[in-house]
Amino acid sequence: MGKSDGSESHNLQKYGVPFYGAAWVPYSHVRSKLLSPEGINKDDNDSDGGDRNGSKDEASSAAACIYYVVLAGGGGEGRSGIPNAVVLSHFDFASNSLSDQPVAKLGTGSDLPYRMAVHPGGDGIILICYFLSLYRFFEWDEVKSAEVHKLGLKESEKVLSQLENVGQQLVLAFNSKGSILATGGEDGNLRVFKWPSMEVILNEAQAHASVKDLSFSPDGKFLVSLGNRGHGRVWDVTSSTVVASLAKEKDEIFVSCRFSPINDQNPVLYIAAITDKGGSIITWNTTSWKRTRSKQVVQEPVSSFNISSDGELLAIGMAQGDISIINSTSLKVQTMVKKAHLGIVTALALSHDSRALVSASMDSSARVTLIEDKKQSGGLNLWIIIFIILLSIAAYFMNDKGIILT
């Protein structure tokens, strides 16, 4: 880790696990669930209900200022000695630091967590385990002590039987409300379920040769799927039909897709692509499903991609370990961090308030990068420029009237 002003930087930590997945915990939702009647420990049932409701409101307000990141990965089922685990870490904005030791670390035995989806409403985490083609579901827990209550994890008793014996899955995603779950397989099979009932909505055996990425529109009406080759496809979730095809151009390889999360009349679809010149962002009109723009944004191959909850920022991770934060309107790079990691950036996610970016790598590192507020700094610079212009005008007239002697 790098050093600054003689003190060690703690926004980058290594936890001894090669990471494939990274996400911010929706802690305010998690905390609300833990404080709900169903989540309260039976040992606390003798406490006063009014006090409980008051503490719940206070805790919910405090939860908005608490940040956790969850990471998943491992060394596989071999005898490398590298564990397979889900890691929970706390991030402190004031000191710009990740906890040097995990808040919680839950081993998964010989099962390698290869992909991860965090339920947006706080239900828990679904993991895809590689090689064995297993799904494992984890719920949030609260570790209580005399001094502090810490967030934890526990394996759920919930069994996702609809996902058993379906072959290796490469991607899974919830819609924004957490009411629908989609999974994509190495065999090209696309499955969509209602959550948590796991009622089948869509089961398309030949969606692609292999499903690479999935993204729901803000209203959950559409689902975009990308394959390892060929065009992307747009699915109407209600009718379970393909409504559009997203064509590639020239040497493009589609890597990842994300809708702008803002639920307006016409959200934008962003696709990160690799070309022979590096990484590009392609935007699509979600009414006509036509391309509206394509721009090269980085010179290295894209390995991971995501978007902020307000739709204003895009984040790209690269094979050489760099990360880039991009303005979604201008598609100009706002922040570039060279060698943010020593290995390929496997996953990244922006916090719910767009203040920070968490990134993870196969070099076993996790990093949080604070987002510079360009609006505030840009506004300040503009006022400085205006002040200098006004000062120059005043000096000119004062000199012209002889007030200032030259």
Does 161 have pLDDT greater than 60?
yes
Q: Report residue 248 as tokens.
A: 């590639």
Helix 49-63 and helix 27-35, axial crossing angle in degrees, nearest 10: 170
What is the edge-to-edge ordering of all strands in the sheet holding 323-327?
302-307, 313-318, 323-327, 333-337
What pLDDT sits at residue 397? 66
Report how many helices (DSSP H) and strands (DSSP E) the chain contains, helices first: 3, 31
Coil/strand/helix, residue 216: strand
At residue 61, what is the residue type? S
Among residues 182, 170, 262, which one has the least CA distance to residue 216? 182
* Rounded Cα–Cα distance for residues 380 and 158 (Å): 52
Are residues 316 and 272 in contact, defined by beta-carbon separation less than 8 angstroms? yes
* Rounded Cα–Cα distance for residues 275 and 20 (Å): 23
Coil/strand/helix, residue 230: coil
Are residues 86 and 70 in contact, defined by beta-carbon separation less than 8 angstroms? yes
Helical H runs in 42-158?
49-63
pLDDT tens-digit profile of 14-33?
999 999 999 999 999 998 88
pLDDT tens-digit profile of 35-73?
776 654 444 444 444 454 555 455 455 556 789 999 999
Does 300 have pLDDT greater than 90?
yes
Q: Parse the chain into domains and list their residue ranges.
A: 12-34+65-373
Among residues 77, 209, 64, 199, which one has the least CA distance to residue 133? 77
Dihedral angle, C-alpha 359, 365, 366, 367, nearest 10 °: -80
What pLDDT sits at residue 102? 95
* Rounded Cα–Cα distance for residues 324 and 306 (Å): 11
Among residues 107, 103, 99, 84, which one has the least CA distance to residue 30? 103
Query: What is the fold of 12-34+65-373?
Result: Methylamine Dehydrogenase; Chain H (2.130.10)
pLDDT band at 1 (very low <50, low <70, confident <90, very high): very low
Q: Report residue 201 as tokens.
A: 């909505």
